[in-house]
Amino acid sequence: MTAHTPVFCSIVPPHLLEHLARSSDPAVAATARRTLAADASARSARALPRPGSPPTAAPRAAATPHRTVHDCRHGTDLPGEKVRAEGEEATGDASVNRAYAGLGATFDLFLNAFGRDSIDGSGLPLIASVHYDRDYGNAFWNGEQMVFGDGDDEIFLDFTLPVDVIGHELAHGFTQHTANLEYFSQSGALNESVSDVFGSLVKQYALGQSAEAADWLIGEGLFHPNVEGRALRSMKAPGTAYDDDVLGKDPQPAHMDDYVRTGSDNGGVHINSGIPNHAFYLAATELGGNAWERAGQIWYDVMTGGTLTPETRFAEFAAATAKAAKDRYGDGAEIQAVLKSWAAVGVPVD
């Protein structure tokens, strides 16, 4: 049985926060440095052994979500005070209610589109904490739960606002319980890309959007209106999500010719994820209809098929998607769309 190694996975990449930390605006720089320090602390906490096992749900006759939302009250002790449990009425806190709804939207996609009972396939309870730290500009999955900051209201708004951010972070848990892709270099970029894929699918499923109607943006609505940017990433056009005097320019490539070799960000996991992201976008839009029905099913089959290793690279993942397309759909439009999409981003399919 594969060991499921929990890792700290955040939605805002460190390169963006490091850029903000060098801002000429003292307030922006100070907030970014605070967020980087909080991330480092949370990352270190995951390296410490914790007593007991992660909670698991009791056996159920039917798959239903088991959600709990906590309030950190601007502290960093997790999970914080429990403020809403499964089935309870909405509270007066919009962040709590959005987190609760986003956990449910993610559960609904995995159950209704793929027949999966929660992100682990066995009814794992979904836990979230809101109001983490002060002016914290990030959201993360720590191997056990979701954590959301409120943002600084200058660069970032509340991290519970975009449902795809919630889906993205929970999808790190899905990866943790399936292929367990190592969070480094190409396997790490695939880990990030899988979260963007399923985060986008959560949003599209919740809104009833076709692949053509979707915006394919990750974190749309997260930036303050004064920021020159639409989102953190664009699967449709990597490298175009933002271009701002304070934030800098989106560095994501869309093709292997522009692959970024770097020692930061675990080998560029948030940057080079643009390549497999764009491949999925191309496959989904080539096939048309709802992206979760064929392209999403192929990616899901790859993640749950047991053929990936933690060190899987782009070409190996591409080959696995081609095999999954053939196994499920035969020699039809699906495998042709998959092959065409990887060729378009410069990834060979052997």
- For the segment 288-331, what is each residue's pLDDT rounded down to a tens digit? 999 999 999 999 999 999 999 999 999 999 999 999 999 999 99
Name, in order, each residue with C-beta under 8 angstroms of 21's C-beta and a sequence gap of 6 or more. Answer: 29, 32, 33, 36
Give the chain's residues under pLDDT 70: 1-6, 45-61
| Contact yes or no for 203/290 (Cβ under 8 A) | no
The CATH fold assigned to 9-176 is Elastase; domain 1 (3.10.170)
User: Which residue, chain included where needed, has tokens 């990887």?
Assistant: 342
**Amino acid at the residue 170:** L
Task: Catalytic residue, from 70, 172, 177, 270: name it.
Answer: 270
Q: How far apart are CA 88 and CA 217, in angstroms?
A: 31
Task: Catalytic residue, from 144, 169, 316, 334: name it.
Answer: 169
Taking the chain, what is the end-to-end CA distance rounded to the nearest angstrom?
A: 28
Q: How high is the pLDDT of residue 105? A: 98
Q: How far apart are CA 195 and CA 179, in angstroms?
A: 12
Q: How far apart are CA 287 and CA 269, in angstroms?
A: 27
Q: How far apart are CA 83 and CA 104, in angstroms?
A: 16
Q: How high is the pLDDT of residue 4? A: 46
What six digits make up the tokens of 305? 């098929």
Q: How high is the pLDDT of residue 8? A: 86
What six digits make up the tokens of 194? 């899988």
Known catalytic residue: 286? no
What six digits make up the tokens of 47? 């390296």
The domain limits of the chain are 9-176, 185-344
Q: How high is the pLDDT of residue 51? A: 33
The CATH fold assigned to 185-344 is Neutral Protease; domain 2 (1.10.390)
Within the chain, strands assigned E span: 9-10, 67-71, 81-85, 126-130, 139-141, 146-148, 217-218, 233-234, 243-244, 248-249
Q: How high is the pLDDT of residue 42? A: 86
Known catalytic residue: 270? yes
- For the segment 117-173, what is each residue's pLDDT rounded down to a tens digit? 999 999 999 999 999 999 999 999 999 999 999 999 999 999 999 999 999 999 999
β-pairing, 243-244 vs 233-234, is unpaired
| Contact yes or no for 250/167 (Cβ under 8 A) | no
Helix, strand and coil content of the chain, in percent to the nearest 5, comes to: 45, 10, 45
β-pairing, 81-85 vs 67-71, is antiparallel
- In order of 49, 55, 56, 171, the CA distances from 52 in angstroms are 9, 9, 12, 23
DSSP string, 264-298: SHHHHHHHHTHHHHHHHHHHHHHH-S-TTTTHHHH
